[in-house]
């Protein structure tokens, strides 16, 4: 089974993005009401969202530093009920500390250290890319909950976040983990996602292919047929749509073609 790529950012920039995104999220916490519910993570408050991410940093750092052959316990990352009425002045430095420790350990390990990962045959580089984009999306969760404008200003980061979403969502093991997704293939359809604010060189144009016997994706330019549904909009808006942080068609994306197909597909492809 082929390994996932390290993405267009590469290992060093993936490591950097963990701390960049954590720092920006930490700034959102200043004077914020941490008890604010997070609609995109039902049942969580902003406080609990930050604790989840910060414990995730520490769990991944332990996994990589110890070259774990099995996943460490992650109770604190899952059970968030103890975290209420916290002080942003305490929580923000704690988040930054966890991000910095993880990034440092990943830089020291390099991208190819053997270690347990959720997918077989992966290495430490998997965690660098995954936590770079996990941090990005959870920053979006906090910003949207707190009414703060969320935009990904680094085009390469946003494009790679979509690329990784596509790679994970069409991984061969998806059909083993979630056999119900085979039903998607029975539709014989294609879905296109086009960023309207990215230059052609960015290749911010994705095609999801459900026509074969496996989930697949490619750049639309490599498959110039007519898709069954197309979603167009700014890159940040597409990212939020794919991660189901905002519904398609609002506020800045446009859907043309089979909107029911899009809704059906998104409903079965949530993660992160």
* pLDDT tens sequence across 66-79: 999 998 887 667 78
In a domain, 235, yes or no: yes
Distance CA 200, CA 203 (A): 5
State the residue for tokens 């597909």: 265
Q: Is residue 116 part of a domain?
A: yes
Scanning the chain, the segments in alpha helix (DSSP H) are 10-28, 46-65, 75-78, 88-109, 124-146, 155-169, 174-177, 182-185, 235-242, 259-267
Helix (H, G, I), strand (E, B) or coil at 138: helix
User: Are both 179 and 144 inside the same structural domain?
Assistant: no
CATH code where residue 169 lies: 3.30.1050.10
Same domain, 113 and 164: no
Structural domain boundaries, residue 214: 159-267
Q: Which pLDDT value is given to residue 263?
A: 92
Instruction: Kindly state whether residues 134 and 22 are assigned to the same domain.
Output: yes
Of 120, 150, 180, which closes a domain? Answer: 150
Question: What letter would DSSP give residue 186?
Answer: T
> Looking at the structure, do residues 255 and 127 belong to the same domain, yes or no?
no
SS3 assignment, position 192: strand
Of the residues 125, 150, 175, which one is the last residue of a structural domain?
Answer: 150
CA 99 from chain centre, in angstroms, equals 16
pLDDT single digits (tens) 150-182: 999 999 999 999 999 999 988 888 878 888 888
In a domain, 5, yes or no: no
Residue 165 and residue 140 share a domain: no
- The DSSP H or E segment spanning 206 is strand 205-209
19 pLDDT band (50/70/90 cuts)? very high
> Is 67 inside any structural domain?
yes
74 and 175 share one domain: no
Statement: residue 1 has pLDDT above 50? no
Do 92 and 167 share a domain, yes or no? Answer: no
Residue identified by tokens 């009401």 is 33
Reading the block at residue 96, the tokens are 């930054």
Question: Can you give the pTM of this predicted structure?
Answer: 0.94
Asked, for residue 255, whether it belongs to a domain, the answer is: yes
Helix-strand-coil split of the chain, %, nearest 5: 50, 10, 40
Same domain, 96 and 219: no
Domain identity same for 94 and 163 = no
How large is the angle between the packed helices 46-65 and 124-146, nearest 10 degrees? 170
Total structural domains within the chain? 2
Look at residue 75 in the predicted model and tell me its pLDDT.
67
Give Cβ neighbours of residue 154 (< 8 Å, ≥ 6 apart): none
Question: Is there a single domain that holds both residue 136 and residue 171?
Answer: no
Asked if 119 and 180 sit in the same domain, the reply is no
Dist. CA 219–CA 181, nearest whole Å? 22
Per-residue exposure over 201-230, b if at least 16 CB sit within 10 Å of its own CB, e if not = eebbbbbbbbeeeebbbeebeeeeeebbbb
The verdict on 198 and 112 lying in the same domain is no
Q: Using the predicted structure, report yes or no on whether residue 61 has a pLDDT greater than 50.
A: yes
The size of the chain, in residues, is 272
What's CA 243's distance to the chain center, in Å?
A: 7
CATH no. for residue 31?
1.20.120.450
Query: Which of 8-17, 169-178, 242-251 comes out lowest in average pLDDT?
Result: 169-178
Picking from 71, 75, 68, the residue whose alpha carbon sits closest to that of residue 105 is 68
Last residue of a domain, one of 150, 174, 205: 150
For the ranges 21-30, 77-86, 186-195, the maximum mean pLDDT occurs at 21-30
């Amino acid at each position: 089974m082929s390994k996932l790529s390290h993405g267009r950012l590469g290992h060093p920039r993936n490591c950097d993005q963990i701390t960049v995104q954590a720092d920006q999220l930490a700034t959102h916490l200043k004077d914020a009401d941490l008890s604010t519910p997070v609609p995109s993570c039902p049942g969580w408050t902003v406080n609990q969202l930050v604790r989840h991410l910060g414990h995730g940093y520490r769990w991944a750092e332990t996994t990589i530093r110890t070259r774990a052959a099995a996943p460490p316990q992650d109770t604190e990352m899952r059970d968030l009920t103890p975290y209420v009425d916290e002080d942003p002045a305490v929580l923000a430095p704690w988040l930054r500390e966890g991000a910095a420790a993880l990034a440092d350990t990943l830089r020291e390990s390099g991208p190819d250290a053997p270690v347990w990962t959720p997918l077989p045959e992966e290495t430490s580089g998997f965690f660098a890319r995954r936590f770079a984009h996990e941090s990005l999306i959870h920053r979006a969760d906090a910003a949207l909950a707190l009414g703060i404008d969320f935009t990904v200003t680094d085009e390469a980061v946003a494009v790679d976040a979509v690329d990784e979403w596509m790679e994970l969502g069409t991984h061969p093991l998806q059909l083993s983990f979630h056999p119900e997704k085979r039903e998607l293939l029975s539709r014989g359809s294609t879905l296109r996602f086009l960023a309207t604010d990215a230059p052609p060189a960015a290749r911010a144009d994705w095609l999801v292919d459900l026509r074969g016997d496996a989930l697949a994706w490619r750049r639309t330019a490599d498959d110039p047929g007519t898709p069954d549904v197309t979603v167009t909009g700014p890159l940040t808006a597409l990212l939020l749509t794919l991660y189901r942080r905002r519904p398609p068609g609002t506020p800045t994306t446009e859907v043309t073609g089979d909107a029911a197909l899009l809704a059906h597909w998104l409903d079965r492809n949530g993660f992160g």
